Structures are given as structure tokens and as C-alpha cells.
Amino acid sequence: MMNKILNILILIFLCFLSNQTVTAQQDAQYTQYMYNTLSVNPAYAGSRDMLSAVLLHRSQWVGVDGAPTTQTLSGHTPLNEKVGVGLNIMNDRIGPARETVVDGNFSYSIEVFDEAKLNFGLKAGAHLLDVDYSRLNIYDETDANFQPNNVDQKISPQVGLGVMLYSDKFYVGLSAPNLLETEHFDESPNGSSVAKERIGYYLISGYVFEISSDVKFKPAILSKLVTGSPLQVDVSANFLLYDTFTIGAAYRWSSAVSAMAGFQITDSLLLGVAYDADTTEFSEYSGGSFEAFLRFDLFKSYNKMVTPRFF
């Protein structure tokens, strides 16, 4: 049964990949993706069987003028045993551009075998873009190629799909968070597109190993493919100690190494931090990247999580 389900997931993913053109990636990236899954896969909505909300901030390449900063607020909950809903808000600033994304998420769940579910997800929302070219340091201010009009709150639609197979100890998901290849703006003097959204495909997976009653180990992986851009692979490993402390490390292929830590402040409140150190020559100019998140879970009195799951 498991092999059949995995074959279905792979088939869906291959369908996502068909008939696409080449371009570059543009989505925000996260080191602690395992706690921010709703941002990349709508099928995650409602999967924690409780109301769950995450607030995350990321400062990338600290010390570099105009480097990306990202804030994400997401929340999701099951409506019943089959249906989950969620809301995701992301604010991303890089150089002269500021992007805001607001999307609603819907998932439908079916039980495929004992203690495992298969979720199908759909997301729909809007992308809001502002660009202020006065924030750029232009060498030749008379160059017409660098004198486009500012972009003020241009709205573009977003639609995404996802599927996720999970139980209390593992999960694997495939998704395409935005299927619309939207041109963000076209304000250059020669009329060429300055930026264009491209479809990104995500594969995310993790497993929880119970080493002992007090120690749990969770390796996880996130791979991202955007046409025209190199394959991005993030591998992480976290240890949960006494259901309270989390410590781990991660590696972003040919890009960065990371250290992560978390503290379960209360049964409902989890605080996590991460630091990325670049492994490229860019490390000479950057102070690394910092990330922090706060997750709030509202347990039902009869459904408090007592399983080893911590994703």
C-alpha cells in the first residue's frame, strides 16, 4: 500500500514538472522550514489536528546593504476530520522591492492506512509588489535603462497545489505553491519585463526516530526546483531532548551551514532560532543570516499531543 501511495505522489510531481520553461528562482527561503511548512505546501493545513500559528522573521546576509528580510505569519486548523484551512501572510523586502503575499489554504484529507493520512491542498491569494527605484545607487543617473517608473502596489493572483502523506512519525509532501507565471512589472523604457514569477516545485520530508523516552531524532529534507535555477537542497537534523529542548544543524547544498535551537516555553509555545554561515566566497561580505520563530498551538482538552511528532 505504501509503495502505491508513493508512486501516486511521484506521478503528481512529474505532472507538475511537465511543459515548463527556463528562468530563475525568486521565493523566500527558510532554514527552519520544518516549522513553516504551510508557506510551501497548502496540504499541510489542518495536519497538526489543532489550531497552530507561526510567526517567523529572517534577516539574510546581515551587513549587506539591501539584503533580503522576510516576515511570515501563518495559521491553520482542522474544521473536521476531513477538512483543514489556513492563512499565510508573507512580507519580503530586498533592495528597492517589497513584496507582500496573502493566501488562503484549503486541504482535504483521506485515511490511506492505519495512522496515516493523505492530504490534498489548494491555495489561492494575491501578491502585492512595491518598487522604489530611488533606493538604488545608480552610477549614471542619466542612463534611460535605469529610470523606470516606480511600482505602487501592483496586485497579481496566486494559485498553488500540494499533496502530503503523513503520520505521527513521518511526512512527505510535494507542492507547487504558485502555478501562475505572472510578470510582476513592466516599467522599463524598452518595455521588457523586469521580473517574472516562475513556478517552483518543492519536495519536503521528515521522520521522527525515538532513540529513548527522552531523546527523539528528526532528520528532514527540503528540495526546491525552479526552472532555470540550480536545484536547491536543504538537509537538517534535529534532536528533541526531554520534550523541551531542540538542537540541530542543517546544510544548504553549496551555500550555507546552519545551527538551530528551540525551547518549548510552555505546552503551547515554542521558540526557535537559527544562524546560517555562508560557505561561498560571499562570506567575506556577509555576517551570515539569522532566523527566529514563535509557534503557538491551541490544544483541545481531549486531544493534547502526546506522540513523538514535532513537525
Residues 6+ apart with CB under 8 A from 113: 1, 2
Three cell numbers, residue 177: 505553491
pLDDT score at 147 = 61
Radius of gyration (Cα) for the chain, nearest Å? 20
Q: Give the whole-angstrom CA distance, residue 6 versus residue 3.
A: 5
Spans in the chain with pLDDT lower than 70: 1-26, 138-148, 182-197, 300-309
What does CATH list as the number for 2-298? Answer: 2.40.160.40
Looking at the chain, how many residues does it have?
Answer: 311
Phi/psi for 255 (5° steps) reads -140, -55
Q: Give Cα 289 to chain centroid, integer Å.
A: 16
- Spatial CA neighbour of 36 closest among 62, 58, 17: 58
pLDDT score at 12 = 42
Q: What is the pTM of this model?
A: 0.82
- Spatial CA neighbour of 127 closest among 82, 172, 158: 158
Burial bucket for residue 5 (CB in 10 Å: 0-12, 13-18, 19+) = middle
